[in-house]
């Protein structure tokens, strides 16, 4: 409950204007879902995946803020019924991006979930299963610690030297999903680093970053995992990530939980790093026949896109002496961040790039975050289908993204609902096209 109490002033900044319910491209003439047809606000769309799926006021952000207030005031007891209203939230941050009063809605939802968990209310079954696996093996998939680096050992001797490389000052944080489920992402990342001569290391002592447990309110387990990683990764100057969730967690959550002075490393996502190499002329991409004249769009992962944008906004607001004058600068800095993957895509030969109707800070979620993929799979895939609708509306035949959860969810939804759209992990594509 302490975390929720710390956010009380933020919670009471909500005036229930319902702006958090809507989002649009910012360009009324943009074609696609929600396109402008000559009527004011025609382009505004419902933006909250949970509200769209369920419809009830308690499933929209404004309703959940009322719940948070009621809990703080003691008018509402923390029960399974309250838990079941709070958990179907992807914590995508769309509501926070739309809020003119800058209410940190993701932090509020995570704090409310933590209050429910700390009050002794049991986890939903799927989340309890994942906790049990992580308590035993330090990852949500239950994979053995000895198998965490098996994928790199299988590549042969040339890569084994990068395991626990004591001479490196750069560490690659693999993440649980790439280590146990999506190994091609990890393999592609280290192949590119090796080709560029980076002296990096992968640590066998790496454990889950804690993201699944921060998002679902299980702060005790999240902090235990985070402290372990902080101890072993603080020895390195730079950590490179291929997972959007791990990058967000070790860049933002660790700083918020332990203090900025306790974080010794610099974080950089592989997309950011590869874009720098492309601009410096160190990487050149060869054309793939299947991509010639292919209409392609980009999906901004929430953890790599909007969550980082919100953190940029928060940090610059803290430093600002005149927010009216600085607001434009804040928007420019956020735009620079979102431009990075688009700059990378501009180096891919042959494609025809098309933005979806909603993008950047207004990008619609894939549906996989916040414990929803594991706990509410139908809702998760329905949300992903809505995103595929936006890709289809601009004529895209392929979606590029850089998050293992986004890749999985978009691919699964495309298969389940019969979309003629392929989903590519951008790091895998760079490795394939590297010349």
pLDDT, tens only, 391-409? 999 999 999 999 999 999 9
Give per-residue pLDDT as tens, 79-136: 999 999 999 999 999 999 999 999 999 999 999 999 999 999 999 999 999 999 999 9
Structure tokens of 261?
A: 């002075």
**pLDDT class for 360, splitting at 50, 70, 90?**
very high
**pLDDT class for 156, splitting at 50, 70, 90?**
confident
DSSP state of 434: B
- The single residue listed with the structure tokens 């980009």 is 298
Q: For residue 400, what are the β-bridge partners?
A: 298, 424
Q: Where are the alpha helices (DSSP H) in 161-295?
A: 176-180, 183-195, 211-215, 219-233, 244-248, 254-258, 270-279
Q: Which residues contact 209 (CB under 8 A, 6 or more apart)?
A: 173, 175, 176, 225, 226, 229, 243, 245, 246, 249, 250
Q: Where are the alpha helices (DSSP H) in 196-293?
A: 211-215, 219-233, 244-248, 254-258, 270-279
Q: Which of 280, 405, 278, 404 is nearest to 349 (CA)?
A: 278
Give per-residue pLDDT as tens, 296-338: 999 999 999 999 999 999 999 999 999 888 999 999 999 999 9
Q: For residue 295, what are the β-bridge partners?
A: 352
Flag whether pLDDT at 41 surpasses 70.
no
**pLDDT class for 31, splitting at 50, 70, 90?**
confident
* Residue 259 phi, psi (nearest 5): 95, 140
Question: What is the C-alpha separation between 398 and 65, in angstroms, rounded?
Answer: 37
Share of the chain above pLDDT 70, in %: 99
Number of H helices, E strands in the chain: 23, 10
Q: Reduced to 3 DSSP states, what percent helix, strand and coil does the chain have, rounded to the nearest 5?
A: 55, 10, 35
Give per-residue pLDDT as tens, 233-250: 999 999 999 999 999 999
Question: What is the C-alpha separation between 209 and 326, in angstroms, rounded?
Answer: 34
The pLDDT of residue 39 is 67
Give per-residue pLDDT as tens, 182-226: 999 999 999 999 999 999 999 999 999 999 999 999 999 999 999
**pLDDT class for 38, splitting at 50, 70, 90?**
confident
**pLDDT class for 29, splitting at 50, 70, 90?**
confident
Question: What is the C-alpha separation between 247 and 311, in angstroms, rounded?
Answer: 13
Flag whether pLDDT at 270 surpasses 80.
yes
**Mean pLDDT score of the chain, rounded to an integer?**
95
**pLDDT class for 281, splitting at 50, 70, 90?**
very high
Question: What is the C-alpha separation between 291 and 397, in angstroms, rounded?
Answer: 10
Q: Which of 300, 302, 297 is nearest to 393 (CA)?
A: 297
Q: What domains lie within the chain, and their CATH numbers?
A: 2-118 (1.10.1060), 137-279 (1.20.1050), 289-433 (3.40.50)
Structure tokens of 353?
A: 């790039």
The model's pTM: 0.95
Other residues' Cβ atoms within 10 Å of the Cβ of residue 41: 9
């Amino acid at each position: 409950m302490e975390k929720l109490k710390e956010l009380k002033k933020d919670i009471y900044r909500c005036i229930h204007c319902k702006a958090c319910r809507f989002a649009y491209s910012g360009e009324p003439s943009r074609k696609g879902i929600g396109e402008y047809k000559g009527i004011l606000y025609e382009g505004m769309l419902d933006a909250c995946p949970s509200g769209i799926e369920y419809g009830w006021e308690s499933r929209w952000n404004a309703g959940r803020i009322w719940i948070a207030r009621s809990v703080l005031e003691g008018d509402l007891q923390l029960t399974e019924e309250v838990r079941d209203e709070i958990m179907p939230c992807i914590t995508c941050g769309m509501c926070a991006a739309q809020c003119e009063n800058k209410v940190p809605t993701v932090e509020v939802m995570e704090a409310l979930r933590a209050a429910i968990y700390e009050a002794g209310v049991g986890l939903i079954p799927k989340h309890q299963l994942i906790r049990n696996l992580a308590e035993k093996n330090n990852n949500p998939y239950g994979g053995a610690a000895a198998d965490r680096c098996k994928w790199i050992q299988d590549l042969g001797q040339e890569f084994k030297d990068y395991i626990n490389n004591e001479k490196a000052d750069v560490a690659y944080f693999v993440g649980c999903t790439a280590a146990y489920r999506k190994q091609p992402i990890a393999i592609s990342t280290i192949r590119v680093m090796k080709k560029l001569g980076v002296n990096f290391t992968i640590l066998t002592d790496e454990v889950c970053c804690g993201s699944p447990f921060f998002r679902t309110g299980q702060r005790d387990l999240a902090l235990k995992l985070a402290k372990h990683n902080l101890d072993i990764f603080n020895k390195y100057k730079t950590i490179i990530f291929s997972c959007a969730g791990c990058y967000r967690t070790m860049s933002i959550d660790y700083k918020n939980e332990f203090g900025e002075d306790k974080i010794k490393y610099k974080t950089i996502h592989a997309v950011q790093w590869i874009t720098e190499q492309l601009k410096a002329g160190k990487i050149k991409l060869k054309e793939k026949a299947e991509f010639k004249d292919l209409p392609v769009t980009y999906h901004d992962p929430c953890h790599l896109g909007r969550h980082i944008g919100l953190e940029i906004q928060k940090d610059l607001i803290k430093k600002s002496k005149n927010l009216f004058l600085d607001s434009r600068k804040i928007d420019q800095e956020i735009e620079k961040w979102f431009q990075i993957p688009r700059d990378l895509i501009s180096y891919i030969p042959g494609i025809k790039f098309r933005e979806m109707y909603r993008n950047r800070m207004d990008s619609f979620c894939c549906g996989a975050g916040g414990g929803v993929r594991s706990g509410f799979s139908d809702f998760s895939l329905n949300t992903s289908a809505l995103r595929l609708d936006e890709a289809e509306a601009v004529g895209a035949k392929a979606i590029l993204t850089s998050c293992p959860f986004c890749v999985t969810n978009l691919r699964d939804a495309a298969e389940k609902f019969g979309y003629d759209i392929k989903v590519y992990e951008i790091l895998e594509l760079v490795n394939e096209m590297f010349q």
